[in-house]
Amino acid sequence: MHETPHFTPVSELLSTAPQLTPADMAAVARAGFKAVINNRPDHEGGPDQPTAETLRQAAEAVGLAYVHQPVSPSHVRPQDVERFAAHVLALPQPVVAFCRTGTRSRRLHDSAREMLRGAAR
């Protein structure tokens, strides 16, 4: 049996999660999320990591919007933060963002907090 993913709420707009799989997308939708942001580069975790395309197909199959915004775990750039905020605001909400552990997605959110402040719908 597949384990249910763990979501960590960070704001009214966004929660974070560790690596999601195609099999997790139905649970993401059941949890009430409307969109997914994948912050992991393809193959960062080796051949067992699902590709962005595989994840996109699984997300869209259960009615979720999906964005792949790969960000280096060691260097989050200002333009990464701006793009992340733009995605969160443009996507249907609430959004779940994920990476290997959830920390990178949380850092992106924390850095984008001022851009997102007051945007909860």
Mean pLDDT, consecutive 10-residue stretches, the chain (121 aa), reads: 84 96 97 98 93 98 98 92 96 97 95 76 45
Choose among 35, 32, 4: nearest CA to 105. 35
Can you give the residue range of the structural domain that contains 68?
8-116
CATH number of the domain enclosing 26? 3.90.190.10
Give 37's strand partners.
Answer: 67, 97
* Non-local CB neighbours of 98 within 8 Å, separated by 6+ positions: 16, 17, 18, 19, 20, 36, 37, 38, 39, 40, 105
Q: What was the pLDDT predicted at 13? A: 92
Alpha-carbon distance of 17 to 84, in angstroms, equals 15
Give 17's strand partners.
Answer: 98
The number of domains in the chain is 1
